Amino acid sequence: MIKKADIVLTAVLITVGLLLSFFLSFHDSTGDELRITADGQLFGTYSLYEDQTIDIHKGTHTNRVIIQDGEVRMESASCNGQDCVRQHPVSKSGETIVCLPNRVVLEITGGEKAYDAISK
């Protein structure tokens, strides 16, 4: 049998869970630089504070990266799937855009990183 206290406890737990998830989802820190690797090797490191276009040429593969207003997006790629081009812009530390066929990885670094867990 469900009692009034059970309903109140459930409502409190759901509210606390929603508040925690809201806080944690918006507590991510904004990065301050873009690290590009191509074929597993560092291609370059770029500031997110400077709007620019970066062309990555590796063999027959070409990718164009746009840094604008502190966000990074893949504008074009010479791959078939175009999944990297359709991905939303990234700006938070730890976020990535990957073009798997061309083996290009865009990773946001820097800034203060949010904790995954705290232990004593």
DSSP category for residue 96: E
Domains of the chain: 33-109 (2.60.320.10)
Number of Cβ within 10 Å of residue 32's Cβ equals: 16
| Per-residue pLDDT tens digits for 17-47 | 998 887 766 656 778 899 999 998 999 999 9
User: Going edge to edge, which strands form the sheet with 61-68?
Assistant: 52-58, 61-68, 71-77
∠ CA 51-57-61, nearest 5°, is 120
Asked if 69 contacts 51 with a C-beta cutoff of 8 angstroms, the reply is yes
Predicted pLDDT of residue 21: 82
Query: What is the tens place of the pLDDT at every residue in 84-104?
Result: 999 999 998 889 999 999 999
Whether pTM exceeds 0.75: no
The CA distance from 42 to 45, in Å, is 8
